[in-house]
A and B are shown apart, each in its own frame.
Chain A
């Protein structure tokens, strides 16, 4: 009862105050993983004394909130799980041009004017060793009969990285849509976003995720789940997670300090701890790094809608 009163009182008090604007603070809108931003915020506060106000959701929800707020923006820093966010924000001239001193060892393709990667994930095969299926080594293995009815994949219409994987693989001259047609023939299901694709494999209803987000699988395995993350021989796509400062930010100095902190040794160590690949090439991590992976490029001219339509058609999702 007491807290009800507090809520109501706080509500009315804040009505008068109208929103944000505390002196020493920076507002960060970020896609997951949740534990990471909390640690970064705490570390940043310890080091600088600046508060971090966090809004955390999926990339889609972060973008929706940014979009809806555009008449009166609230965010200072945005961290997305999709590189495309950064490039198009930059094109629309929404970003503050800032290059952190700590970004020197971040490879060039992971930074641009006004944005820089926080960390990088890659897509992989997540396989349940208890499933009684042979361990797959490459994407095309999954078209074999052993995996019939046992494959899931995140929906490319809902997950940007899954789309990139489809776009990259179908652009391979030797693969094309044949691979996905083979998967469709193997009755692969597309049950939703990343978590929905992984869950049936954990419980054993399915055996393998085609295009699982690597750090989620790796951290599940670390927790003792029966899951193995396999980076296919023929290569995969990566999803760098861009950080950027909005031009509309009214706390640009604090925002810059925050970017510096995430790219500092301490910040990058936290990134590595979550099983993401750190953006700085000189930071070690306990997992395969960019240099160990064969990375497939996505032609920026690819027609996204056409790819999604063809994918949906192939898997009877129309």
Chain B
């Protein structure tokens, strides 16, 4: 659908966000954000709705001014709260795809796409060629003369994409660009956008609340939560070494069990379980969160593991056939639940033990700096 063949390899600019906060009245939406994006790198901002993703993107675009901190794009200081320096959006050489596309209804598709070029006073001949090229890249050459209102959602999205990249901006911003589209379209488009960005070598910041999308498109993913960046890492790293229970929770990586330490054993809050981890895991702290990735849990064949301190037992809420097995939802306590994979159907309401592979478990102590300890 999108082809990125005939494009000149060219590198986007680095972006550096330093200590940037955004407050609306008394409401702090972003708190001291630090973020560095390398030239040509694609960073996804991932977080639940309302965590400040759009706000951060608007700061990068110059659509609002930071309350504190500064932002560099390339060599240019585009915003600095302390000196008041500010470069308006039109002088930042960026592209942006809006969540609702914001295609101008009074212009044709070609006029929409050509607008950024027109703003750079690029002559008509070259402009037409580049419009055709950009529309070609998104596979929409045939709709150039239509009004945007007459296009389907996916087509509008691709016009918005073409408009964002047509002027080869040094930074492209995406604000949940696919959230209005169906799953299939989303999955194919995300691959296409990723390929296009890599091909054009553009720096991009891509906002989404969908992990799959973030992992598919980004070199690194930043997890944003209540105005803080919790962790920023490559997708593999994020899944393999989440820095905090919130990250685990948001990425739904496994079980997080709050626990107290008694005589080297873990008493899981709720009182039902007493686990005996290997000596190195806890490291002297007195309470914390035990993180058991899905891969650390295995359905036990028989009971008795729980007594030995190496298994936990949960109640099956629901099993659902998934073609190659069963997706089983299990509950361990009122608030703690997990979705597991099982080769066989487990009856609703039955109680099962799960064996723990301690070598894959993590411990996040409450009373120490959140240093990740791992056996």
Complex A–B touching at CB under 8 A: no
